[in-house]
């Protein structure tokens, strides 16, 4: 005997639960997916007839199942990508089935309802979904949630490479390659992991390319995040207020123009073609504080536009992703985004050009990385002690010119006085 109990725990989307109203209950997730697509109107047209997706392959993968669907002609894939929540909610509409054996342990007393509820809740996780496309639509349904924390390990690093790890998805490392996507915007509400991510990126770059990377670090939160790096030999400029920021921006712009001239005069198109191995990173934490400074923003826009070819890359982190904090010119020139939870769909739209960041769970380090594709990841957590341990060999004591790397030309002429203070 089978007793079936249907419970719609997550109401809200008609498409996601309307199939429960049909006579035949869905047998499995593949069946549910098919019905959600039909109910949501995610269909195409072939020979004048409405057609829905067709399941071509189903494979067990680590932590879940992968479904591969053929799409009908005229299918608008972005509808699914923008509304992946409908699919996720639909798959989490609970359809519980108890066999008699399930009920053997239940005691028929006053707490019977509580006991049944416990069995129901104890059984299911909230399933999570990952979408992919390779000519077919790939839907991965995971039966267990992503971990809420991923500890840092040095194995995440690719040595001698401009790719840095920015997140992990179920054991797979997601990297951002600065030589392919030159700049990066990092956004998110306060306390959800922007500075942790940026510090991890700086440390990773120092570990991967100690002799080729240099930095200009602007920490407009009073230096709390970047202070630990200021004596690293790779750091040419360090500033923590708007005046210092403007000074640094001017220096970086000058350096960039000099470098660009060298590249163009040499008959090359960019730093890669000119076979120049050095790269400079201008990193601003709480960039919104600069947004009111017209001169600073003009210089920054110039660096964003011209820096790509000259090997001058920008990481622009902000807690306030408004149109003013991320001006259009900057946004347009920085297509790669790493976005942690935000408080509204409007803020998400500013960062990602779509909603989604407001629906992320409130877990520090859980973010959306948008490059060519958009993925949800968990950023590894590198602690301040781990950073200290990894950068200590690069810390330069004031006046210690012996350890000064010859690959940092500008540091030699003492032009960059802002880093000379030792804590």
Is 191 a residue that touches ligand ATP (CB under 6 A)?
yes
Site size for ligand ATP (CB under 6 A): 15
Is 188 a residue that touches ligand ATP (CB under 6 A)?
yes
Cα 294 from Cα 412, distance rounded (Å): 31
Among ligand ATP, Mg ion, none, residue 379 binds (CB under 5-8 Å by kind): ligand ATP
Other Cβ atoms within 10 Å of 13 Cβ, number: 19
CB of 370 to Mg ion, least distance (A): 20
- Do residues 90 and 16 lie in contact, with contact meaning Cβ atoms separated by under 8 Å? yes
Segment contacting ligand ATP by CB under 6 A, of 103-111, 177-185, 186-194, 346-354: 186-194
SS (H, E, C) 92-120: CCEEEEEEHHHHCCCCCCCCHHHHHHHHH
Is 192 a residue that touches ligand ATP (CB under 6 A)?
yes
CB of 393 to ligand ATP, least distance (A): 25
CA-to-CA separations, 48 to 44, 45, 55, 73, 74, in angstroms, rounded: 10, 6, 21, 11, 11
Phi, psi of 22 (to 5 degrees): -75, 160
Sequence-distant (≥ 6) Cβ neighbours of residue 165 within 8 angstroms: 156, 157, 158, 173, 174, 175, 200, 204, 380
- Do residues 199 and 391 lie in contact, with contact meaning Cβ atoms separated by under 8 Å? no
Cα 294 from Cα 166, distance rounded (Å): 31
Taking the least distance from each CB to Mg ion, the nearer of 195 and 234 is 195
CB of 196 to Mg ion, least distance (A): 8
Q: Provide the β-strand partners of residue 51.
A: 44
Q: Provide the β-strand partners of residue 49.
A: 46
Taking the least distance from each CB to ligand ATP, the nearer of 42 and 192 is 192
Taking the least distance from each CB to ligand ATP, the nearer of 68 and 166 is 166
- Residue number closest to ligand ATP, CB atom: 365
Cα 170 from Cα 21, distance rounded (Å): 34
3 state SS of 373: coil
Task: Choose which of 193, 223, 307, 356 interacts with ligand ATP (CB under 6 A).
Answer: 193
Task: Choose which of 45, 54, 58, 149 interacts with ligand ATP (CB under 6 A).
Answer: 149
Question: What is the contact surface with Mg ion in residues (CB under 5 A)?
Answer: 194-195
CB of 321 to Mg ion, least distance (A): 14
Taking the least distance from each CB to ligand ATP, the nearer of 89 and 286 is 286
Within 357-376, the residues that bind ligand ATP by CB under 6 A are: 364-365
């982190």: which residue's tokens?
A: 317
Is 195 a residue that touches ligand ATP (CB under 6 A)?
yes
Is 379 a residue that touches ligand ATP (CB under 6 A)?
yes
Other Cβ atoms within 10 Å of 61 Cβ, number: 12
Among Mg ion, ligand ATP, none, residue 309 binds (CB under 5-8 Å by kind): none
Is 337 a residue that touches ligand ATP (CB under 6 A)?
no
- Do residues 217 and 237 lie in contact, with contact meaning Cβ atoms separated by under 8 Å? yes
Type and span of the H or E element at 55: strand 54-61
Taking the least distance from each CB to ligand ATP, the nearer of 196 and 245 is 196
- Do residues 392 and 189 lie in contact, with contact meaning Cβ atoms separated by under 8 Å? no
Taking the least distance from each CB to Mg ion, the nearer of 228 and 233 is 228
CB of 409 to ligand ATP, least distance (A): 32
Task: Choose which of 381, 407, 409, 410 interacts with ligand ATP (CB under 6 A).
Answer: 381
Among ligand ATP, Mg ion, none, residue 190 binds (CB under 5-8 Å by kind): ligand ATP
DSSP class of residue 354 equals: S
Is 266 a residue that touches ligand ATP (CB under 6 A)?
no
Interaction site with ligand ATP (CB under 6 A): 149, 188, 190-196, 221, 319, 364-365, 379, 381
């Amino acid at each position: 005997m089978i007793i079936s109990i249907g419970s719609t725990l997550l109401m809200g989307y008609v498409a996601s639960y309307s199939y429960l109203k049909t006579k035949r209950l869905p047998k499995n997730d593949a069946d549910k997916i098919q019905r959600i697509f039909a109910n949501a109107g995610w269909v195409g047209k072939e020979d004048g007839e409405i057609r829905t997706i067709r399941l071509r392959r189903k494979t067990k993968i680590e932590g879940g199942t992968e479904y591969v669907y053929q799409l009908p002609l005229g299918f608008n894939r972005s509808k699914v990508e923008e509304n992946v929540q409908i699919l996720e909610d639909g798959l989490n509409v609970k359809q519980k089935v108890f066999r008699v054996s399930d009920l053997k342990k239940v005691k028929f007393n006053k707490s019977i309802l509580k006991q049944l509820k416990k069995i129901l809740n104890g059984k299911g996780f909230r399933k999570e979904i990952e979408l992919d496309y390779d000519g077919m639509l790939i839907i991965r349904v995971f039966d267990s949630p992503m971990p809420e924390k991923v500890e840092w390990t040095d194995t995440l690093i690719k040595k001698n490479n401009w790719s840095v790890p920015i997140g992990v998805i179920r054991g797979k490392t997601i990297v951002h390659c600065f030589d392919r996507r030159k700049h990066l915007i990092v956004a998110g509400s306060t306390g959800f992991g922007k500075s942790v991510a940026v510090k991890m990126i700086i440390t990773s770059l120092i570990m991967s390319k100690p002799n080729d990377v240099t930095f200009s670090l602007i920490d407009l939160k009073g230096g709390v995040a970047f202070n630990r790096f200021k004596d690293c030999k790779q750091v040419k400029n360090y500033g923590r207020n708007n005046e210092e920021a403007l000074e640094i921006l001017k220096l970086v712009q000058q350096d960039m123009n000099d470098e660009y001239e060298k590249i163009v005069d040499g008959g090359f198109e960019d730093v890669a073609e000119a076979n120049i191995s050095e790269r400079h990173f201008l990193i601003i934490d709480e960039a919104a504080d600069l947004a009111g400074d017209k001169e600073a923003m003009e210089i920054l826009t110039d660096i964003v536009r011209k820096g790509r070819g000259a090997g001058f890359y920008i990481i622009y982190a902000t807690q306030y992703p408004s149109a003013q904090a991320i001006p259009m010119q900057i946004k347009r020139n920085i297509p790669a985004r790493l976005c942690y939870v935000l408080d509204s769909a409007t803020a998400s739209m500013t960062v990602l050009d779509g909603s989604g960041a407001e629906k992320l769970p409130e877990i520090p380090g859980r973010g959306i990385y948008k490059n060519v594709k958009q993925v949800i990841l968990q950023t590894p957590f590198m602690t301040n002690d781990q950073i200290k341990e990894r950068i200590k060999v690069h810390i330069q004591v004031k006046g210690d010119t012996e350890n000064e790397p010859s690959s940092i030309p500008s540091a030699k002429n003492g032009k960059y006085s802002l880093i000379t203070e030792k804590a």
